[in-house]
Amino acid sequence: NENEIYEQLKNAVLNIDEESSKAAVEAGLHEGLDPMSMIENGFAKGMVIVGDEFEAGRRFLPQLMMSAALMTESIEQLKESIEGEVTQETQGTIVIGTVEGDVHDIGKNIVKIFLGGNGFKLYDLGRDVLLHKFIEKAEEVNADIISTSALMTSTMQSQATLEEMLKEKGLKGKIKTMIGGAPITERWMKKIGADGCAENASEAVKVARQLM
């Protein structure tokens, strides 16, 4: 049953259990579950718990890295089925990446898959991306939106700097900005003048649609 599969996906990330993850992904696909729901209701839930336990000192960095690696691999396994499903016309063009100084890219990768799965054309610059690269790429591909991810209080400041850079270049408003990452709030979005923010990947799809 559906919830059992989500639970198994979540636990696979918690227990760093690759075999269980693979089995649950296969079972889910066989049952016809939406791959995106499997990511959001399964893996992402597990990663949030892993994060909380890490913060509470109940897990250590190597375990964190192993859960993160498992999650990345498992998402790869699901990516193909999501990409195979996209038939819509392009909804818009988005340049996406994690800001400079920040290597956290699990969330960014999920957001990318969801946006891509919902018809957006994505240019993924990866992680630890210099701010001027976001703007250069967005101009080059005539992007509608720049989506940045920042997971640390030290790197979220870059999202504010990006807004300033867009203003200076007269691009503010022409290229919309959408921000996300664990420390990102609506308050931060308003404070820095970003156009949208989202707490998770399905929310990001809604926000991106609104920005178009």
Residues that bind ligand HCB (CB under 6 A): 44, 47, 50-51, 54-55, 61, 64-65, 68, 101-108, 110-111, 147, 149, 151-154, 178-183, 198-201, 204
Query: To the nearest whole angstrom, how small is the minimum distance from the Cβ of residue 70 to ligand HCB?
Result: 11
Q: Which is nearer to ligand HCB, 1 or 62 (CB)?
A: 62
CA dist., res. 115 & res. 156, Å (int): 22
CA dist., res. 4 & res. 12, Å (int): 12
Q: Which is nearer to ligand HCB, 84 or 183 (CB)?
A: 183
Query: To the nearest whole angstrom, how small is the minimum distance from the Cβ of residue 71 to ligand HCB?
Result: 7
DSSP structure string for 48-105? HHHHHHHHTTSS-HHHHHHHHHHHHHHHHHHHHHHHHH--SPP-EEEEEEEBTT----
Q: Which is nearer to ligand HCB, 24 or 201 (CB)?
A: 201
Query: To the nearest whole angstrom, how small is the minimum distance from the Cβ of residue 64 to ligand HCB?
Result: 5
Q: Which is nearer to ligand HCB, 28 or 97 (CB)?
A: 97
E-strand stretches of 112-162: 120-124, 145-149
HEC per residue, 16-41: CCHHHHHHHHHHHHHCCCCHHHHHHH
Query: To the nearest whole angstrom, how small is the minimum distance from the Cβ of residue 89 to ligand HCB?
Result: 22
